[in-house]
Structure 1
Amino acid sequence: MLTIKDLFDLDHTIAKDYLAQFTYPWEALAGIKDFILSVGPTLEDYDEVSPQVWVHKTATVAPTAFLGGPCIIGPETEVRHCAFIRGSALVGAGCVVGNSVELKNVILFDGVQTPHYNYVGDSILGYKSHMGAGSITSNVKSDKLPVVVRCGDERIDTGRKKVGAMLGDFVEVGCNSVLNPGSVIGRHSIIYPTSCVRGVLAENSIHKNDGTVLSRK
């Protein structure tokens, strides 16, 4: 349940071939910037609105939003008032990057919504996943040691000090939830509002805000 194949339908991102090189999604984090720089100049129907910032002609970007390069903003995507894209952000088609949302070193698959006051850093959000208002990905441990992904008794050292969350396709994250460093959320799972999530949540699960986990099946 931890691999890219387990979590994502790669047909819903222009990073398909890039991601297919890796087994685990966090392995792709180191190369997001270089991937954007390599593919950006080749894109059709995009305008390079500032150096290394490519925005599709059908995307809508509020004049108060900040787009830091390198980044790609896909077709029909809406970047709203005061969004802050710090760079190394690949935002797919039909996405919402909302009011006061901050993105850094991320891949957002098509249809992802981060609409209100979200921080998403060093993370990958799968097709049509949704972050409720105020929910964030925490990407650095308090002890600043490399992030370890924990799945039952299995421990995988990512070798990175900054790893946020890996959200599978169709994941719903409730308002004001915190996804701790190295969280992996399986496809079609739901996280209740105000939850504090650690480790791995299997696909088709419900994570309640008291930590209880139920199956949706």
Structure 2
Amino acid sequence: MLTISDLFRLDDTIAASLFAGKTYPWEVLEGLSAYILQLGATLSPEEFDHPAEDVWIAKDAKVFPSAYLGGPCIIDHGAEIRHGAFIRGSAIVGKKAVVGNSVELKNVVLFDGVQVPHYNYVGDSVLGSHAHMGAGSITSNVKSDKTLVVIRAGEERIPTGRKKVGAMLGDYVEVGCNSVLNPGTVIGPHSHIYPISSVRGTIPPHHIYKNEREIIAKR
């Protein structure tokens, strides 16, 4: 349940080729900036504006004047970048995705239909199709002791080799308001996280996370 094929439907992102030849989703973080520059150069000028050297915005996307878009980044068709959003760079925002008020993105892939609409920080993370982060929920991407992030799944430990790894959210994940997803958190598709949770490790698909001792299968 940790692999790319377990978590995502790759038809739901402009960046499907980024995942080719890789097993785990955090493997795409290392080369994301270079990939965006390569992909951006292939985008049709009839469909995408190119207002800055490393920025591509679909002509039917809505970007509020107060939003900051740092390159390299791609904003796909129908996406909405709202007031005060801060895209620091190395970001792909999928079709009809929403990046909202005071949201900060850095080194991320948001699949189509993702919503991060209110006061979210999403860094070094991959969010699957139609994943939703409630107001104030964040991905923590650096451990307090600054050691390399290791993915935990039961007794299994998978080294990432990276100091910065946020969260990997499968398709249709719902994260409750004011939750913290600790470094290296992986949440399976269609799972829900209760508000005000501190989540670490791996949550299976189709489960509800109430707290670390109460993770129940959906009925």
The offset of 1:119, in angstroms, is: 0.1
Distance 1:97 1:18 in 2: 22
2:137 corresponds to 1:140: no
The C-alpha deviation readout for 1:131-178, integer Å capped at 9, x for no partner, is 000000000000000000000000001000000000000000000000
The C-alpha deviation readout for 1:69-93, integer Å capped at 9, x for no partner, is 0000011100000000000000110
1:34 is aligned to 34
1:70 is aligned to 72
The offset of 1:14, in angstroms, is: 1.2
Distance 1:150 1:79 in 2: 33
The C-alpha deviation readout for 1:48-89, integer Å capped at 9, x for no partner, is 111210000000001000000000001110000000000000
SS of the counterpart of 1:27? helix
Task: With the length of structure 1 as denominator, give the TM-score of the two structures.
Answer: 0.98
1:83 is aligned to 85
The answer to which of 88-97 and 207-216 deviates more is 207-216
1:92 is aligned to 94
Q: 2:199, 2:212 within 8 Å by CA — same for their partners in 1?
A: no
Distance 2:74 2:16 in 1: 15
Q: What RMSD in Å do the two structures reach over aligned CA positions?
A: 0.8
1:58 is aligned to 60
1:155 is aligned to 157
SS of the counterpart of 1:115? strand
Distance 1:215 1:60 in 2: 38
Distance 2:79 2:198 in 1: 29
The C-alpha deviation readout for 1:21-42, integer Å capped at 9, x for no partner, is 2100011100110110001021
Q: 1:194, 1:209 within 8 Å by CA — same for their partners in 2?
A: no
The offset of 1:203, in angstroms, is: 0.2
Between the two proteins, what is the percent identity of the paired residues? 65
Where do 5+ consecutive residues of structure 2 fail to align?
Answer: none
Where do 5+ consecutive residues of structure 1 fail to align?
Answer: none
Residues 211 and 130 of structure 1: CA distance in aligned 2, closer, same or farther (over 3 Å): farther
The offset of 1:20, in angstroms, is: 2.4
Task: With the length of structure 2 as denominator, give the TM-score of the two structures.
Answer: 0.98
> What amino acid is aligned across from residue 81 of structure 2 in structure 1?
V
